[in-house]
Amino acid sequence: MVDALVSGASVERRAGSSPVLGTYNGGLTLLEKMVKSPFLFVNLKVDLIIFPLITTEFNQQRLDYLLSLYGMSKQQLLSHLNQGRVKKLTLEDIDGQEIKVSVLKRIDEIFHKGLPYYLDFTSLPIDRNSKVLFRKKRFHSSLTIEDKRIVDSFESLKSLLDGYRVLTDTESKEYNFKGTSSINEDPRLVADSMRSHLLPDNDIKDHKKYLQEIIKNLANLNVYVFEFIETWNKRDKSTIDGFYLDPNVIVLKRQKSYKREIFTLAHEIGHYLLGVEEVESLDMSRVDKSRVGNKVERWCNDFAFYLIAGKSVDELDKFNDYSEDLNDAIDKLSTTTHISRMAWYTKMAYENRMPIPKYHYIIKQLEDENEAKQQELKKELDNKPSSPRSPKPIISPLYLETMQYAYYNGLISESVFCEKLRIPKNKLEKYL
């Protein structure tokens, strides 16, 4: 008798009979696809953790597609799979018509597609222009596997939302201001001309509300902004701050400081205006030699700074070099604008108005100061009763609207609506 551990599912063993489950692809049940054994049958509700010797047929072409998308060879895949293993896997274990389910689960821990993805034998429409990892071979920064997975997940989400828009007859391919600027234009002048379209009219002091208002204004321009949050205990963390995907997607990583996130969003808006895709894995409020030398990155940084600073930048123009008076001015500017002290000093360093050694010294002081504040905050949280609530990403009004159209037209259920937007079911009415 084959034994197995099944999490959150009812288990029934019937020797020699066929599994009775909803049909999967080609008339076969999902369990028949997965388990070439008549001994164990499961009422499948969640992922399975199955006896490691059980094998299944799988779609090798789908694995090859993922490897091509991630720029990964099978030897590199094996290297990742064999981390921490005593008995190493070989090419024979991942190459062929059948694969151990335990190995397939290890593969999916890298790509996060879900086991049914590999068991689907329908062909994939391989359009090299549909994925930025195919379209753009060279990025400004070296991307990790987790970076690529995040990029792919948001591209897949955007494709899904595009499908909803088509099916509900609400599709719009008008992307206001996209690609209307050039790196030959003065970023300050462009920022001045775009400010009324992007920034809130009223003077909002709260940094999160300010960020939300920019996201709302971008939704009015038919631009999606997605935010993702990485928990403190996540094993593989991304190096991404944010990225822009053609034609109308900006993705942001939740930061400890909303000022930094605002700057990142403004930087990605610069990419949108230029019509130049990029995945950013560097802190864009810091001086970096490759970024200074990259005309697109420099333009987007300058645009972001001028967009947020507005007329306050005139205060900085009073200083041609470093002095103690500059420190006082930046302290004041950082409290009256949505730009951090680090970003103000970085602007001075970009323009060679302060010595780089002094800049690095000040940045180190600011980092130590921020770290001390984070430690104090952590102590305060540790002393408070634990809360089951986890942080929720900011929801773009455009994303919400698309999901509402899908729901009202019967394309998705209440469960899917809540799952995608990460909202509790008892709050559903608030979003409809």
Q: Are residues 418 and 304 in the same domain?
A: no
Q: What is the pLDDT of residues 127-167, one digit of tens each?
A: 777 788 888 877 777 888 999 999 999 999 999 999 999 99
In a domain, 201, yes or no: yes
Q: Is residue 36 scored above 50 in pLDDT?
A: no
Q: What percent of the chain has pLDDT over 90?
A: 55
Q: How confident is the model at residue 41 (pLDDT cuts 50, 70, 90)?
A: very low
> What is the Rg, in whole angstroms, of the alpha carbon atoms belonging to the chain?
25
Helix locations, 99-233, DSSP H? 101-111, 115-119, 132-135, 145-167, 187-198, 207-220
Nearest to 274 by CA among 253, 295, 288, 305: 295
Single residue among 294, 314, 334 that ends a domain in this structure: 314
Domain residues for the domain of 264 are 187-314
In a domain, 246, yes or no: yes
In a domain, 354, yes or no: no
Q: Which has the higher per-residue pLDDT, 156 or 53?
A: 156
Amino acid at 284: M
Q: What is the pLDDT of residue 12?
A: 35
Q: Are residues 192 and 307 in the same domain?
A: yes
> For 115-144, b where at least 16 C-beta lie within 10 A, e where not — what string?
bebbbbeeeeeeeeeebbbeeeeebbbebe
Q: Are residues 192 and 274 in the same domain?
A: yes
Q: What is the pLDDT of residues 206-243, one digit of tens each?
A: 999 999 999 999 999 999 999 999 876 677 788 888 99
In a domain, 67, yes or no: yes
Q: Are residues 14 and 91 in the same domain?
A: yes
Please report which helix (H) or strand (E) contains residue 100, including its range: strand 98-100
Q: Are residues 191 and 114 in the same domain?
A: no
Single residue among 88, 119, 150 that ends a domain in this structure: 119
Q: Any long-range contacts for 115-118 (C-beta under 8 Å, 24+ apart)?
A: 115/34, 115/47, 115/48, 116/24, 116/30, 117/62, 118/58, 118/59, 118/62, 118/63
Q: How confident is the model at residue 18 (pLDDT cuts 50, 70, 90)?
A: very low
Q: Are residues 309 and 192 in the same domain?
A: yes
Q: How confident is the model at residue 21 (pLDDT cuts 50, 70, 90)?
A: very low
Q: What is 339-384 written as a DSSP string?
A: S-HHHHHHHHHHTT-S-HHHHHHHHHHHHHHHHHHHHHHHHHHHHS
Single residue among 283, 314, 345 that ends a domain in this structure: 314
Q: Is residue 279 scored above 90 in pLDDT?
A: no
Please tell me which of 119-133, 153-167, 292-306, 346-360 the model is most confident about, judged by mean pLDDT: 153-167
In a domain, 275, yes or no: yes
Number of separate domains in the chain:
3
Q: Are residues 97 and 202 in the same domain?
A: no
In a domain, 156, yes or no: no
- Is this model's pTM higher than 0.85 or not? no
Q: Is residue 74 scored above 60 in pLDDT?
A: yes
CATH number of domain containing 268: 1.10.10
**104 to 33, 34, 101, 175, 415: CA distances (angstroms):** 13, 10, 5, 40, 28
In a domain, 361, yes or no: no
Q: How confident is the model at residue 278 (pLDDT cuts 50, 70, 90)?
A: confident
Q: What percent of the chain has pLDDT over 70?
A: 81
Backbone angles phi, psi at 404, to 5 degrees: -65, -45
Q: Is residue 25 scored above 60 in pLDDT?
A: no
Q: Are residues 112 and 205 in the same domain?
A: no
Q: Are residues 230 and 306 in the same domain?
A: yes
Q: Are residues 409 and 299 in the same domain?
A: no
In a domain, 227, yes or no: yes
Q: What is the pLDDT of residue 323?
A: 84
Amino acid at 215: I
Q: Are residues 199 and 105 in the same domain?
A: no
Q: Are residues 412 and 302 in the same domain?
A: no
